[in-house]
Amino acid sequence: MEWEYLSGVEKEIDVIREKALAKAQAVNPDISVVVDNYTLDDYCYKQWDYPGKWYCYFRLPKGIRSKEDLIDKIAAETIARFNKR
C-alpha cells in the first residue's frame, strides 16, 4: 500500500516538471527535458502510522515556499543548463 502513496507523490512531481518544462520551452523551444536536482526523498514526507507502516506524502523541498517557486526554480535551472551547451 505504501506504493499507492508514493505514486501520488510521483504524480505531483510529474505535474510540477511538466509546468517547469512549459516555462522553459517558452524561453527556448529546443528544450525537451527539465533539470530537477531534487531527489524523491526531497519531495516525500514519510510518516509512520496505523497499522504500523510507513506512508509517503508530497511535500515541497526544504527552502521552497510554494509550488510556483519550485516550478520557477526548475525552469530557471533548466534554461541555465541548456544555455551552457
Domain ranges of the chain: 2-83
Grid cell listed for 83: 544555455
- Per-residue pLDDT, averaged over 50-76, amounts to 93
Residue whose C-alpha cell is 533548466:
78
User: Is the model's pLDDT at 4 over the cut of 70?
Assistant: no
- Lowest mean per-residue pLDDT among 45-49, 50-54, 79-83: 50-54
Residues 6+ apart with CB under 8 A from 27: 75, 79
Residues 24 and 80: beta-carbon distance below 8 Å: no
Say whether pLDDT at 21 is over 60. Answer: yes
Average of pLDDT values for 2-13?
81
Q: What is the mean pLDDT of residues 39-59?
A: 88
CA angle 16, 17, 19 (to 5 degrees): 65
- Quick one: pLDDT at residue 54? 82
Which of 51, 39, 54 lies closest to 5, judged by CA? Answer: 54
CB 27 within 8 A of CB 80: no
